[in-house]
Structure 1
Amino acid sequence: MQSNRLIYILALTMVLSSMSATMFNIVLPKMSEEFQLSYSQVSWVSAIYLLIYAIGSAVYGKLADLFKLKSLITFGLVFFSIGSLIGLASQAYWMVLLGRILQACGAAVIPATAMIVPVRYYAAERRGWALGITATGLAIGSAIGPVVSAMLVSFADWRWLFCLPLLLLFTLPMYRKYLSDEQGNGGRLDWLGGALMAGTVACLLLAVTFESWLMAAISAVFFLLFVIRIRTAEAPFVNPRLFRNSSYTLGLAIAVLVVAVGYSLPFLTPQLLAEVHKLSPGLIGFVMVPGAAVSAFLGRKGGKLADVKGNSTLYSLASGLLLLCFFLLFLFAGMPPVLLAAFLIFGNVGQMFMQIALSNTISRTLPQEQTGVGMGLLSMLNFLAGAVSTGVYSKIVDQGASFSLSPLHALPDSYVYSNIYLVLGLTIMLAWMMYSIRFGRRQQLGREMTGK
């Protein structure tokens, strides 16, 4: 009973945190105009948050193997509140970025907790249900985030978006009550390794944003030093032994592809609706609501389907829904926004189902003693994929396209979006084949052995 209460508290936390992660996407065009910056430059408001969120989720995942999880939650939520207050008072673009950085440093404890609690507190046969609950919280946050953001910016300055996530503080007493007092076994955290990883991705994003070969070279150097560090450090930031587990490694690779593709939906859609369809931030939010709302409604059903029919079945269903979404967007990116809202339903539901299936699949490849760092690394790579893809998408949009591979377009401004959606659909097909070859056969073998 206590674990059930904990998972619902975690779902509530996911609602609020997912609002914070995506609500600024709607106002990026307005910020670009106010600060006189390109879209790829203001995209750092999202990218820097995801970057710090990614590194931080892995750090918290490692710390969860060493210290009390309730202590980490307390620290993270308080730090998150400090960043929110700085962003609320910002008068320059650098202050906006500072607020987002500090927010991410604290909020990164949430995805780490969302990965760890279902694994630690639930048996394997109920883990899909638990992951479904947290995924539902994520979907609900995505559903109400655009609505709340749209309503707020319709009568107030966009900086007030920093204030909404402060509601997370109300969940802190409940975490203090329901999380156990289990103490970690102590140890050290490889801060140098974490810094080298952060430097690798930050320089890669700078290289993409500013087309700098120098930053690309520095990123490569940081990555080489990171590899050397984790191979030589006594307690490395990422244990290389994790990657000897081929099933875990392949699962991570698929997750990176899937997240990079999926983040196009909340990131590219507002820009498409603003640039091509000339919608205001308020209307953009309402176009994105139906898909997120339906995915929120179906979240628990996805978790139950994974428990009953298996992760492979859920993953195949998710792939089909995403393929349908991207194919329709490829053909009709320039069509009326009401059609785009309908297409996003398939994409949002597919993305949520895929997250449940992949999280459940990857968790079963790990021994119990490595669940904290293993799932923390998954969370880190998920957000790193989102951060890097953000930089890539924004740069491609800035460059535009003079042709479309779709024969059905009437609006030249939509060409670049249509072409991107085609490539993303092909990427989903590749990820589905990789998953089916490795994990689909394993599930079938397990069913044959159990006679199911």
Structure 2
Amino acid sequence: MAQENTAAVQSDDVDAATNAMAIRALIPLLITFILGTLCLQGFNLVFEQVGSDVGASAGQASLITALPGIVLGIVCFIYGSLGDFVSLKKLVVVGLVTLLVGSLFGFIANFFFSSNLWTVIIARVLQTAGEQVAGSAYLVVATKYLRNSLKVVFFGLFTAGYQLSASIGVFAAGWLSTIHWQYLFLIPSVTILFLPMLLKNLPDQNGSGDKVDGWGFAIFGVATAFLTLFFSYSNWWLLGVAFVLFVVFGIYINKAGNPFVTPDFFKNTRWIMAISLIAVFYFVNYCISPIFNAIARDVYGMETSTVSNYLVWAFVVAAIVGTSSGAIIGKIGRQTALITAGCLMLIGFVGSALAVNAGFLTLTLMACVFYAGTGLMYSPVVSTVLDTLPKEESGRGVGMNDLIMNVTASIGISVIGGMMSTAGNASGSLIGATGAAAGYSNLLLICGGVILLGLIVFLVFRKRIYSDSQA
């Protein structure tokens, strides 16, 4: 009986040659993604200084991160979805060339010529659009061409790479800002050297080869852009336009002859239940760092540069746990790992709320607990979602995952960020704190409540989510 089960699993698995090809492609894709993310995090840290240097106002300077962020949310979905239709080689060539052009343009235009806000923004948009190809291609290759036993390992390496690049990006930006921030543009340019290796190891054909649904991608992409802009600028007409475009998209996929995603895709109840986990768990994913920065400023009188020296260790913990997540899941199973990750995130938020006056070192330890949870969460939740879809739809699944993660996290930071502006005036808290500490403690408890909701959703739906799973 055991032999029959083994044979059944192997028949659904990839062969050794395909698995080896995937591994050789995944390593350079991961390095490309890390360097691109490092550049992204670096500019997020120093955008105010960059804006000042190019003569932009404080409000205009935020566009250096806002506009590339909107592009990121759109291309995450489009690139992942295109993996079901066109060659990954073509996508990667376009991505790496776009990344190189953005890097060289940003450095040359702003170092050798007069710096300008829009040359910075255009360069960052090109870099963001280019580097995300590596991230999306990585997830598509890991989903379609890796042995089942290795998928969680490489999903773990992906989130570890993200966390590691985030921590390095903070230090790189701080150091380069004292010399010339323009050198930040050049960091991901070396990834063009990976192109020959990727062309050799990526599959020649991927997906159905059907004609790409340009109208469908355009409508959905523009609708997503307006939705993201709404949560960045809180203008209700932006939300209205997004709503109308999503309605048009719904009508379009019901009427079009060969849309890139059919209505049946959204009727997959297992997928809807699973994707709701990402929507809830990642809603407050970006919140702990800005809340801690505000606590350090208003409660402890600390500078941001000092705060980063503490919080960087939380990113290091996330990277270590993310790297180990495959082995952890192999020992305790995917469902237990997901619950454990959620509990760690919950403890991090609630523990921080209780320890808001206990010293910043204690808060840092709680941040480490939270980021250990985020490092462990990515692999089981992403593999759970993708497991609800047939392999031929895995590219669209990757795209939807990235889209939901980016959009819900952006919504979350907008909501919590709005609350932070009035947190210092709180009259009291559940833990008995007063003043600014009370408001921030309440915010941390709210974030913990969101994570608790995610755990409840998972426990309620998990039997249905895993009902047809082979994992």
Aligned to 2:88: 69
1:309 aligns with 2:332: yes
What code does the residue aligned with 1:37 have? A
Please say if residues 32 and 42 of structure 1, whose CA atoms lie closer than 8 Å, have aligned partners that are also in contact. yes
Aligned to 2:25: 6
What's the secondary structure of 1:366's corresponding residue?
coil
Deviations 1:133-182 (A, max 9, x none): 222222322232222222222x2244433332223323333222322223
Counterpart Cα distance in 2 of 1:366 and 1:444: 13
How much does 1:415 deviate?
5.5
TM-score, normalised by the number of residues in structure 1: 0.86
How much does 1:439 deviate?
1.9
What code does the residue aligned with 1:236 have? P
- The equivalent position to 1:224 in structure 2, one of 227, 244, 247, is 247
1:320 aligns with 2:339: no
1:54 aligns with 2:78: no
What code does the residue aligned with 1:132 have? G
Question: Map of 1:9-408 to 2, 5 A cutoff?
Answer: 9-28=28-47, 30=49, 35-38=56-59, 42-88=61-107, 89-90=109-110, 91-153=115-177, 155-266=178-289, 269=292, 273=296, 282-333=305-356, 336-398=359-421, 401-403=424-426, 405=429, 407=431
In structure 2, do the counterparts of structure 1 residues 322 and 203 end up closer, same or farther at CA, with 3 Å as the change threshold? same
Please say if residues 102 and 127 of structure 2, whose CA atoms lie closer than 8 Å, have aligned partners that are also in contact. yes
Please say if residues 32 and 188 of structure 2, whose CA atoms lie closer than 8 Å, have aligned partners that are also in contact. no
Q: Quick check: 192-201 or 305-314, which moved more?
A: 192-201
Please say if residues 77 and 168 of structure 1, whose CA atoms lie closer than 8 Å, have aligned partners that are also in contact. yes
In structure 2, do the counterparts of structure 1 residues 186 and 442 end up closer, same or farther at CA, with 3 Å as the change threshold? closer
What code does the residue aligned with 1:251 have? A
How much does 1:336 deviate?
4.5
What code does the residue aligned with 1:291 have? A
What's the secondary structure of 1:192's corresponding residue?
helix
Please say if residues 88 and 202 of structure 2, whose CA atoms lie closer than 8 Å, have aligned partners that are also in contact. yes
Counterpart Cα distance in 2 of 1:264 and 1:292: 14
In structure 2, do the counterparts of structure 1 residues 73 and 335 end up closer, same or farther at CA, with 3 Å as the change threshold? farther
What's the secondary structure of 1:96's corresponding residue?
helix
Stretches of structure 1 that go unaligned for 5 or more consecutive residues are none
Counterpart Cα distance in 2 of 1:144 and 1:24: 12
Please say if residues 349 and 444 of structure 2, whose CA atoms lie closer than 8 Å, have aligned partners that are also in contact. yes
Please say if residues 312 and 443 of structure 1, whose CA atoms lie closer than 8 Å, have aligned partners that are also in contact. no
Deviations 1:171-194 (A, max 9, x none): 333222322223554323333333
What's the secondary structure of 2:179's corresponding residue?
coil
**Moved beyond 6 Å, runs of 4+:** 444-447
Please say if residues 74 and 224 of structure 2, whose CA atoms lie closer than 8 Å, have aligned partners that are also in contact. no
Deviations 1:229-288 (A, max 9, x none): 232222334332112211111211211222221122455555665676565554343222
Please say if residues 409 and 415 of structure 1, whose CA atoms lie closer than 8 Å, have aligned partners that are also in contact. yes
Counterpart Cα distance in 1 of 2:38 and 2:319: 13
Counterpart Cα distance in 1 of 2:293 and 2:191: 26
Counterpart Cα distance in 1 of 2:106 and 2:357: 35
Counterpart Cα distance in 1 of 2:249 and 2:438: 39
Identity of aligned pairs, percent?
24
Please say if residues 14 and 110 of structure 1, whose CA atoms lie closer than 8 Å, have aligned partners that are also in contact. yes
Counterpart Cα distance in 1 of 2:40 and 2:292: 15
What's the secondary structure of 2:261's corresponding residue?
coil
What code does the residue aligned with 2:89 have? K
Please say if residues 111 and 379 of structure 1, whose CA atoms lie closer than 8 Å, have aligned partners that are also in contact. no
Counterpart Cα distance in 1 of 2:84 and 2:232: 36
In structure 2, do the counterparts of structure 1 residues 71 and 211 end up closer, same or farther at CA, with 3 Å as the change threshold? closer
In structure 2, do the counterparts of structure 1 residues 428 and 183 end up closer, same or farther at CA, with 3 Å as the change threshold? closer
Counterpart Cα distance in 2 of 1:43 and 1:409: 33
Aligned to 2:11: none
Counterpart Cα distance in 2 of 1:350 and 1:13: 25
Stretches of structure 2 that go unaligned for 5 or more consecutive residues are 1-19
In structure 2, do the counterparts of structure 1 residues 213 and 15 end up closer, same or farther at CA, with 3 Å as the change threshold? closer
Counterpart Cα distance in 2 of 1:278 and 1:152: 26
What's the secondary structure of 1:78's corresponding residue?
helix
In structure 2, do the counterparts of structure 1 residues 52 and 275 end up closer, same or farther at CA, with 3 Å as the change threshold? farther
Counterpart Cα distance in 1 of 2:78 and 2:119: 25
| Higher-RCO chain (CA-CA 8 Å, sequence separation at least 6) | 1
Q: Quick check: 113-122 or 277-286, which moved more?
A: 277-286
In structure 2, do the counterparts of structure 1 residues 45 and 284 end up closer, same or farther at CA, with 3 Å as the change threshold? farther
1:419 aligns with 2:430: no
Please say if residues 98 and 130 of structure 2, whose CA atoms lie closer than 8 Å, have aligned partners that are also in contact. yes
In structure 2, do the counterparts of structure 1 residues 46 and 400 end up closer, same or farther at CA, with 3 Å as the change threshold? farther
How much does 1:399 deviate?
5.4
In structure 2, do the counterparts of structure 1 residues 197 and 66 end up closer, same or farther at CA, with 3 Å as the change threshold? closer
What code does the residue aligned with 1:244 have? K
Deviations 1:369-405 (A, max 9, x none): 1112222221222222233334444444455551053
Please say if residues 76 and 109 of structure 1, whose CA atoms lie closer than 8 Å, have aligned partners that are also in contact. yes
Please say if residues 334 and 411 of structure 1, whose CA atoms lie closer than 8 Å, have aligned partners that are also in contact. no
What code does the residue aligned with 1:61 have? G
Please say if residues 156 and 378 of structure 2, whose CA atoms lie closer than 8 Å, have aligned partners that are also in contact. no
Root mean square deviation, CA, Å:
3.1
What's the secondary structure of 1:238's corresponding residue?
coil
Aligned length: 444
